[in-house]
Amino acid sequence: MKNILLVEPDYRSKFPPLGLLKIATYHKGRNDSVTFIRGRNEAFRSLHWHRIYVSSLFTWELPRTVKTIRYYQDSVNSYDDIFVGGIGATLLPNYIRQHVNCKIIEGQIEKRGILGRNSPPIAHLVPDYDILKTVDYPYEPDDSYFARITKGCVRNCKFCAVPKLEPEFGLLAPLSKQITTIKKKYGEKQNLVILDNNILAVDNIEGHIAEIARLGFAKGTKRNNRMRTVDFNQGIDARLVAKRTPLAQALGTIAIRPVRLAFDFVSLSMERAYRKAINLLAEQGFRSFTNYMLYNYKDSPQDFYHRLKINAELNKSLEIRISAFPMRYIPPSDIRRGYVSPQWHWRWLRGIQCVLQATRGLISPNPDFVEAAFGKDFREFLEILSMPDRYIIYREHYKNDGASDWRRLFRRLSETSRKEFLDLLARLNKDRRRIQTIAGLKRFRSLVEHYYPNGEVPGQHF
C-alpha cells in the first residue's frame, strides 16, 4: 500500500489529464491511496510520497513542467520515484532529461514493466473520473463519456504531432465495452466525447456510427429532458466526408454537435473537399459547425482571410453557422510560443490574438462580426492586424481618439516601409532596453508612439 501523488502542472488545460486518471485506476486497484492535484502546493510537497506522477502537455509548457517536477523532487525518496509522461514528455524527452532527474515515460503505457517490475500495461484502463471531483478546476466537458475507438492517424501531416505520438493507426477496445465499464463505475453520463485523431479513417466506420447510435446517441435522443450530444472532438476529416456520400448520411443518424471540421491549409482540392463536406453535412440537417483553422504554418494572411470568406459564404448560402477556431502553428519541438512563419509578421499574429481575445478564440459566424473584426477586404484586414493592441481590443473607445491618427500615418508608408516597420515592432517587442531604443529611433517615431506611448507599454484599463 502506497501513497501516490498525481500532479498536473498548472498550465491551462481543457480536458482532464486522462493518462493520470488511468494511473489512478491502476494504483487504486492495488489498494494505494491516490491524491490528485494541480500545480505546486506546499501542503503536498511537505509530505512524503512513495511515488509522484507528473503529466505534461504542450511543449511550450515544458519549462513549467520541469519547474513542477523540481518542486516535488524532495517529496520522494529517490529520483526514480518521480514519473513524467504525456504529450510534452513524449515529444521532447531530452528537454526534460537535460533539466531534471526523473523517470520519463514516452508514449502510452502499452507494455508491461513500465511502472515497476511486471506492472501491467495501463493504456486501455478506464480513467478514474472520481479523482476529478475533488480538484477545484473546471475541466470540460463534464458529464461526458470520454472514449477512443482508434489510435494514430492515416495522414502524415508535417505540422501535426500525432504521427510522432501515435505512429500506428489501429483499433482500441470496442466502444460499447468502454462505455459499459464507465457507466458501471461512475454512472451514466449525458454526452459522448470521441477523442480519435481521425475516426472516419477506420474500417467499417458505418458500423461504429451505428454502435454510437445504439449506445443512446442517435439523433434526437434525450436524457433527463436534455438532448444528448456526440462530439468528435478532434474533428472529422473533410476529405473523407467528401469522398463518399453515404458517410455523411451515416453521420446524420447520430447527435453530433458541433460538427468539427479542420480547414488547415488551402489548396484547390482541399477547398473543394471542404465545401462539399459542409454541403453534404448541411443536407443531413447539421447546422452548427466549428472549424479548426491552422495558420502561421505554410499559409499566408491571404489564405487566412480567404478561409474566413469561404466560411462566410457557406454560412450565408446554406444558412448554417460555422464558427472558426484559428490555431496558431508552433513547431512540435518549440518550448516557447514565439514562432513566426516567413509569411507572417509578429504584429499580425499578435493582431489576430487581440481580435480573438474578446471571443475566447472563436470567430463567430455572424457576418457583421467578421466584417467588423477582420475588415471588409484584405487590405483592411492587414491594417487591423497591424494596429496597436488597444486600438484593436477597444476599437470603439479609440475610434476617433488615436486610431484615426495612426491610420493616417500608417497609410502613408510605402509597401517596403511597412515591412520594415512591422519588423521593427517585432524587435521592439523583445527589446529589454525598449525605451532607449525608441528614443534613438530616426524613423517611425510618431507611429511607434502609438504602440508605446512615452516608450512604455500602455495599460489596458480605463
Partner 1 sequence: MPENLQTKVPKIGAFVLETLTTGMYTNPLDTLREYVQNSFDAIREAERGGILSNGAGRIEIIVDEKARNLTLRDNGTGIPSDSVHSRLVNIGMSSKSIETAAGFRGIGRLAGIAYCKRLVFRTQVNEEPDISSVVFDCENLRHAMSPRMKQVKELADVITSHATLSVEKIRKKNHFFEVKMETINDAGQEFLEWRKINTYLCQVAPVGLDTQSFHHAGTVHQWVKKHNLCVPVVSIIISSGSTNYQVFKPYRKLTYTTIQEKHKIHVKGIRFFPENVGPESPFWGWYAETNCPGTFGDGTVAGFRLRKANIGIGMADRMTEIFADASESYARLNKYFMGEIHIQNPNVIPNARRDGFEDSPEWTIIRKELVEFARQRSREAHQLSQARNLDIERLVGATEREWKSAEKRRKTGLASKDEKAKILAKIDRQLGKLDAARRADRNEDEINKIVKVRKRLEKTRAAIQNETNFAAQNLNSALDKKQRRIITEIIGILYDVLDEPSFEKARDAILAKYQVPDKEAKL
Question: Closer to partner 1 at the Cβ: 46 or 94?
Answer: 46
Residue 29 or 331 with smaller CB distance to partner 1:
29
* Cell (9 digits) for 357: 481575445
Residue 230 β-bridge partners:
192, 256
What amino acid occupies position 51? R
Residue 6: count of CB within 10 angstroms of its CB: 26
- The strands making up 191-194's β-sheet, listed across from edge to edge, are 144-147, 191-194, 230-232
Q: Among 18, 20, 23, 36, which residue sits at the site for partner 1 (rule: CB under 8 A)?
A: 36
Q: Which stretch binds partner 1 (CB under 8 A): 12-20, 29-37, 252-260, 370-378?
A: 29-37
User: Toward partner 1, which CB reaches closer, 43 or 268?
Assistant: 43
CB of 30 to partner 1, least distance (A): 12
Task: Copy the grid coordinates of residue 80.
Answer: 526514480
Quote the distance between the C-alpha of residue 226 and its chain's center. Answer: 27
Near partner 1 in 38-97, by CB under 8 A? 43-44, 46-48, 50, 77
Smallest distance from partner 1 to CB 34, Å: 6
Residue numbers 396-435 binding partner 1 by CB under 8 A: none
Give Cβ neighbours of residue 355 (< 8 Å, ≥ 6 apart): 373, 374, 384, 385, 392
> Least distance from C-beta 25 to partner 1, angstroms?
14
For the CB of residue 61, give the shortest distance to partner 1 in the complex, in Å.
21
Q: Report how many residues bind partner 1 under the rule CB under 8 A.
A: 19
| Binding segment toward partner 1, per CB under 8 A, in 13-21, 37-45, 82-90, 202-210 | 37-45
Rounded to the nearest 10 degrees, the angle between the axes of helix 367-374 and helix 301-318 is: 160
Preceding omega of 331 cis (within 30 degrees of 0): no
Q: Does 118 bind partner 1 (CB under 8 A)?
A: no
- Smallest distance from partner 1 to CB 45, Å: 11
List the interface residues with partner 1, window 126-145 (CB under 8 A): 131, 134-135
Q: How far is the CB of 32 from partner 1 (least distance, A)?
A: 8
Distance between CA atoms of residues 285 and 254, nearest Å: 11
Exactly one of 20, 21, 37, 324 binds partner 1 (CB under 8 A); that residue is 37
The reply to whether 35 sits near partner 1 by the rule CB under 8 A is yes
Among 319, 431, 311, CA closest to 363: 311
Distance of closest approach, residue 28 Cβ to partner 1, in angstroms: 9
Least CB distance from residue 40 to partner 1, whole Å?
Answer: 14
Written as nine digits, the cell of 228 is 444528448
Nearest-angstrom CA–CA distance, 327 and 295: 6
Nearer to partner 1, 2 or 412 (CB): 2
* DSSP-derived 3-state class of residue 190: coil
CB of 29 to partner 1, least distance (A): 14
Which residue carries 501491467 as its cell?
Answer: 120
Residues 6+ apart with CB under 8 A from 97: 104
Strands 226-227, 222-223: pairing kind: antiparallel
3 makes contact with partner 1 (CB under 8 A):
yes
Work out which of 18, 20, 23, 34 binds partner 1, going by CB under 8 A: 34
Please tell me the distance from the alpha carbon of residue 136 to that of residue 133, in angstroms, as a whole number: 8
Beta carbons of 438 and 428 less than 8 angstroms apart: yes
Q: How far apart are CA 69 and CA 84, in angstroms?
A: 8
Is 23 an interacting residue with respect to partner 1 (CB under 8 A)?
no
Of the residues 14, 29, 30, 33, which one makes contact with partner 1 according to CB under 8 A: 33
Residues contributing to the site for partner 1 (CB under 8 A):
1-3, 32-37, 43-44, 46-48, 50, 77, 131, 134-135
